[in-house]
Each structure stands twice: as C-alpha cells, then as structure tokens.
Structure 1
C-alpha cells in the first residue's frame, strides 16, 4: 500500500562549493539521497542519473522482496547508464555517486546503500546509524586502528571504497530490510550534514518533534553554521505521526531537480583558478575512489601516519619530562644557595638549603656543626634556634651563630 506518513527533502550548495553535486528525492514510497563525485561536472550528472533511474520504481510493492529486487535492478540500471554516458561523453570519465535509498513497504523499510551518504533511524529518543560508510577510514575504524572520533577528522575521510561509478556494471550494494513503526523518523543525508553536525545535535533536532520540513531546515542551518564545506542534502521521513500525510507530487532537490542538470559546464581557466583559489577549490571533487593498486599504498601511508603520531606523542612526553626535570633540578640547585640556623639533637647547626621538605625529599642538609650546646642557651634563644633562623648567606648564618654564642657566653 502507499506509505502512510510525511516527508521532506532539501538540498543546499553549502558555503564553499560553487555547484551542487547532490541529488535528493522524496516520493510516495521511495526516498533517496545521492552525493555525486567527479569534479566540476561529473558529480552533477551521476547523482542526477541515479535519482532519475530510481524514481521509476516509486510505487507500492506487494512484498519487501519485490522492493529489494527493484532497488537492486534500478541501481544496476543506473550503473549501466553511467557507463553508457561516459562512453558517449568521455569528458565525464571518472564520475560516480553514492546512493542511499529507502522504500517503505507496509511496516518495513527496504534499504539499499553504497558510498558514504547515510541513513539514520530516530526511535524512542535514540539516534542509530543504520548504514555503514564504504570508506577507507571506516575500514580503519572496523579494524580498531582509529576511533570513530578520529575518523571525523582523518585526512583520508573522503576516500570511498565502494561507489556507483562508470567502471563497474554490477556494483556491490548493501541491501537489507528493517521493521519500522509509527513514530519512527528516518533521516537520509549526504556527508555534507553528517560530516559537520554530530549525532548528538542531530538527535536533538529530530527529538523536537517538528514537522519534517522544519526539522530539515533546522538541520541545514546547523550545517551552514558549521561552515558547510560540502553540499548538504537531507531527506526526512516520518512514519505515521501527528503531521499531515504525504500527498501530491514527489519532491526532487539538488542537481536532479534541474532539467539541464546533466549539461557539462564550461571548463575553468587556469588564470581564474590562480586568482581565485577558493573558487577553484570549490570545484574540486568531494570524494575520491582509489584504484585497487593504490589501496595498499593508502594503508601503508596510514600506518606511517600513525607511527609518526605515536613518535610525536613520545617525543612530546619526553620533552615535557625533561622540562619538568630541569625545572626541579634548577629549583633544587637554588635551594642549595640558601642557609639557615637550626638545631641538631643537642647543638646549634648551620644548614644548607631551605626549611621545607617535599614529601620524603629533604631540601636541606647539615653544613656546619657549631659545637654550641643547646643547653647553654636561654629558653628564648633555644626556642628560636629550634624554630630555625633564616640567613641570606653563609656569612650571615655565621654572624647569627656568633650572636647566639655571645648570648650563651653572656648567660
């Protein structure tokens, strides 16, 4: 039957890039996000073609198995169309796109995924990432070599290991079926959102219970506030709920919404790129799909990076310890230039150092036993000596002892 719920789709170029290579689709039963790759022109074409192929299967399905077969078939057809397009237009060679698609069938969500766009499920105030990124850094996370937080800032975070491209007519997809229930919120997004807005803030926005359109606007604003270095595409799907049931024509956003979206823009000139480096950077590919022979090189490079980082930490720790040791040594040496007069068991003694100790470490040592018995001193003088008398130098300490001695002799 036709999906019962509400949805919204929105796409934005972002604050850095000059064109939108993302495409999004929100229909009656089908919901898609595609993030194109291929530089100045190819990404626009790839994501548009993928959404165009998938749009044809936006209909009710009699079973989840039928929907899964339709998804696989449509994505395979898109791969063939990409290959045929590059054959006819060689200037688009190297283009590709991620695809994250969801088909609602009764109480189930049928999912197909390739690349690093994501599908999340918000249920019972908890956000869960349903799809797994097909990226180099995700492979490092899965192997325990880096943490998910490190993956967010890894220099190779945009390297895709799987993508719908112009080389493989039989792409390796993840497809699976999940039960869904009223109140569920499904979020499909490109990495322009997930790479900027963390899960905690995404969950907070979804948990406000606003209508899908307002929620998508809220998430987009957060991405823009975070700098939005990439295109941002969001498709939000509510199952049941308090908001109006979806009706009307499908919503298509991003490059797929442009009837001439697959036209190849004019080539850039080298001079404009030199004069406007930010504009040139804005047209660089957002992703890179490595050839198989480069994979081991990437892995080895990451090993070297980890080793360099570990060595850096060790060297930094050693430097900190050296600085601390030098400071302690310098402080100790300073204490050995100080003197004070105090008492031993039964005589007046000149001590070298300071009166304080650091735990079990004594900062003073007996320097000169004067031979003056404590018993020869007045009660006041004896108490003063036992409490220690600070001196500015060794000569000053000796003058203090002479005064004490005269007092004892006079007594």
Structure 2
C-alpha cells in the first residue's frame, strides 16, 4: 500500500559554517536526514553517500519486518561504501555521517538510527523524542551523572559514540517498528535544529498544524534566530490527508542535492599567507567516534570537572557564610555601642544595645539598674520610660536618668 500523507524537506548552511555537510531526502515512503562530519569535503561526501545509497528503498514493502531488514542492510552497505571511498582517498580518513531514517509501510513507521540526528513524533499534542542520541553526554545522562539540561551545554556534547563512517563495516544501528496513525507528524532533523531549539519551541510550531513546508520553514527560522552554529536539515512527514499532496517526485536537500556532494574531490594543499589561514574554525569537524581508551579519559575528565564543580560550590558557600557572619558580627558590635532607658519589672534600667529584637534573639542587655521605681515617676515620665528613651551614648543615658530622679519625690 502506498503511504498516504504529505512531507517537506529543507536544509540550510546556518550562520557559521561555510558549507553544508548535511543531506536530506523526502520521497513517497522514505524520509532521511544525514549529518556529515570529517572536514570541509569529507562530511559532504559521507552524508551524500548515505542518502543516495538509501534512496533506492523509496518504494512499498510487503511487510514492516522486511522493510526493517532491508533498511538496516542498506545502512551497513553504505558503511562499506564509505570504507572503500577512504581506501581510495586516504586524505578523507575520519569522515562519517549520522543517519536517521523513517520508512513508511502500511500503518507502520520503520525507523533506523545511528548518531545524534533525531526522530520525533508529534501525536495528540504530545511531542516525543523517538530515537536516543549515540553521544558521550547521553551516556552521562543515562547513568545519572548529569541532567538533560546540563547535557545541552556540556563541552563534550558533540562527541559521538556511534557513527556511520570509515571506522568499520559493521555499524551498530538502532532499528525498530512503530505503529503510526492518521494525524501523526514525524520530524527528522540534524542537531543543527534540536541542538539549539528546545523541544517546547518545536512542539509549539508543530501544534499550529500548518502544512509541512510552512512548518519546516518556521522551525528553520527558530534555528537561525538562535544563531544556527551548525547546518540545519529538517524533514517533516504528516500521516493522513489533512494537507494537499505535493508531486510524487522525491526531494533531496543539502550536499546530496548537488553533484559535487557525491564526487570525491581532489585534495588541494592548504594555502597560507597574509590573507589566508591554514584552516577555518567553522569547518572543523564537530563530531568524531572515539576509541575505548579515549572514552575512559573523557569519563575521568568529567569526574574531575564534577569534583572541581563541587569544590567551587563548597568554597563559594563557605565564602558567602563567612561574609554573612562577618556582617552579622559587625552589626551586633555596632548595636553594643548604643544605649537606651527602659523599664524592667518595677524599676528604670539603662540598657546596652537597641530596642529591636531578631526573632528570639535580643539585641539589648541590662547595663545598670537605677533603683528608680516606676511607681514614683509622674505619669508622663513613666509612659516615656515604658516606651523606652533612646540615648546617643552612655553619658547621655545617665543624663536622662538624672532628669528622671529630679522628677521623683
């Protein structure tokens, strides 16, 4: 049965990089995003090879299980092509690509995934990430060492633990089958979108229920407004007939859409001079597949960072407590230079401190009992003492007491 729905694909270089190493494909049944890596040319070639090797699967399948098997085999075959390409051109060593693919079969979505591009499902107002990133920080999240929010800003967030590349011909691909239903919206994207636009913002756009092309444009604008430090590729698939169908021709975007995207370029020596540099930071590979010993070093580095973070938190806390304590001590010392005259049971007393209290803590103590009875004072003086009389100093307090004595019989 032919998949019934509508789709759109869009790819943009972003605001920092000078070339697009992403590739995307939107066909009648197959939808793919590949995010290439490995330098200025290597990433272009890797993602292009992956997309063009998979596009032959854009047809109907008798069963989802058969579609899953062929999709997995096609991705493994693409890995062989990448290895053979590097064997012919050693200067491309290290190139690789992520692959996130959705193959629609009847009422099912067959999903295959490797890397950190993502597949999302928007159903009944709920936006869900379907694939799991094959990244170092995702392992830290899964083990409870960091939170998902911390992972968004972790310095190693782009380190891939699994990738389709020249590291081997037996990539570990996640593949599974999900039932789909009319009204579903499937989003496949490179980390140029999900790495800078949070899921809540994307869900808000999808919730507007606009046509796939318009929705993809709005998601791209969010990434560009956020700075778009990486290439951005978006493939959006709607299940059902809510929006008009586009032509049956497949849409290919990104590096796979240009002939040079699948050519193996001739290596050119780097030029340097007054106006040229040996390399451009924007074209540095943002992903790589580390060896096992490198992973252990990254884990140990993360532990060191966590220990340093704890030490700084403790030092900061102690510093804040010390500053507060010093302020409290200085404030209390100042109160002990103040005096006032007030009552104590039935007599007049000179107090050291101030009249205010802090909760159960009194900021004054009796300094001298004057032996003047409150009952002996005229009514207006007794009322003044009961309300307390502030003094600028001890001598001032003693002068107030002398005045009170003069008013007693």
TM-score norm. by structure 1 comes to: 0.96
Label 1:188 to 1:386 Cα distance change in 2 as closer, same or farther (>3 A): same
Q: Which consecutive unaligned segments of at least 5 residues does structure 1 have?
A: none
Label 1:159 to 1:104 Cα distance change in 2 as closer, same or farther (>3 A): same
Do the aligned residues in 1 keep the contact of 2:377 with 2:407 (CA within 8 Å)?
yes
- Cα deviation for residue 164 of structure 1 reads 0.2
Label 1:250 to 1:273 Cα distance change in 2 as closer, same or farther (>3 A): farther
Label 1:158 to 1:270 Cα distance change in 2 as closer, same or farther (>3 A): farther
Alignment of 1:9-408 (within 5 A): 9-261=9-261, 262-264=263-265, 266-271=268-273, 280-408=280-408
- Looking at structure 1, the residues matched to 39 and 353 of structure 2 have their Cα atoms a distance apart, in angstroms, of 71
- Looking at structure 2, the residues matched to 388 and 355 of structure 1 have their Cα atoms a distance apart, in angstroms, of 8
Q: How far does the alpha carbon of each residue in 1:232-284 deviate from its partner, in whole angstroms, 9 at most, with x for none?
A: 000000011311124331100001001111343755435579879xx822111
Label 1:39 to 1:317 Cα distance change in 2 as closer, same or farther (>3 A): same
- Cα deviation for residue 380 of structure 1 reads 1.3
Do the aligned residues in 2 keep the contact of 1:28 with 1:246 (CA within 8 Å)?
no
Deviates more, 1:90-99 or 1:346-355: 346-355
Please give the secondary structure, in 2, of the residue aligned with 1:200.
helix
Do the aligned residues in 1 keep the contact of 2:4 with 2:241 (CA within 8 Å)?
no
Do the aligned residues in 1 keep the contact of 2:94 with 2:288 (CA within 8 Å)?
no
- Looking at structure 2, the residues matched to 241 and 96 of structure 1 have their Cα atoms a distance apart, in angstroms, of 37
- Cα deviation for residue 344 of structure 1 reads 1.4
- Cα deviation for residue 73 of structure 1 reads 1.4
Please give the secondary structure, in 2, of the residue aligned with 1:138.
helix
TM-score norm. by structure 2 comes to: 0.97
Do the aligned residues in 2 keep the contact of 1:273 with 1:280 (CA within 8 Å)?
no
- Looking at structure 2, the residues matched to 136 and 50 of structure 1 have their Cα atoms a distance apart, in angstroms, of 23
- Cα deviation for residue 293 of structure 1 reads 1.6
- Cα deviation for residue 203 of structure 1 reads 0.6
- Cα deviation for residue 49 of structure 1 reads 0.5
Please give the secondary structure, in 1, of the residue aligned with 2:14.
coil
- Looking at structure 1, the residues matched to 74 and 259 of structure 2 have their Cα atoms a distance apart, in angstroms, of 20
- Looking at structure 1, the residues matched to 200 and 307 of structure 2 have their Cα atoms a distance apart, in angstroms, of 31
Structure 1: 4+ residue segments shifted above 6 A: 272-276
- Cα deviation for residue 72 of structure 1 reads 1.2
Q: How far does the alpha carbon of each residue in 1:154-197 deviate from its partner, in whole angstroms, 9 at most, with x for none?
A: 11100000000102101000000000011100000000000111
- Cα deviation for residue 83 of structure 1 reads 0.5
Do the aligned residues in 2 keep the contact of 1:4 with 1:246 (CA within 8 Å)?
no
Please give the secondary structure, in 1, of the residue aligned with 2:169.
coil
Deviates more, 1:66-75 or 1:206-215: 66-75
- Cα deviation for residue 404 of structure 1 reads 1.0
- Looking at structure 1, the residues matched to 40 and 273 of structure 2 have their Cα atoms a distance apart, in angstroms, of 16
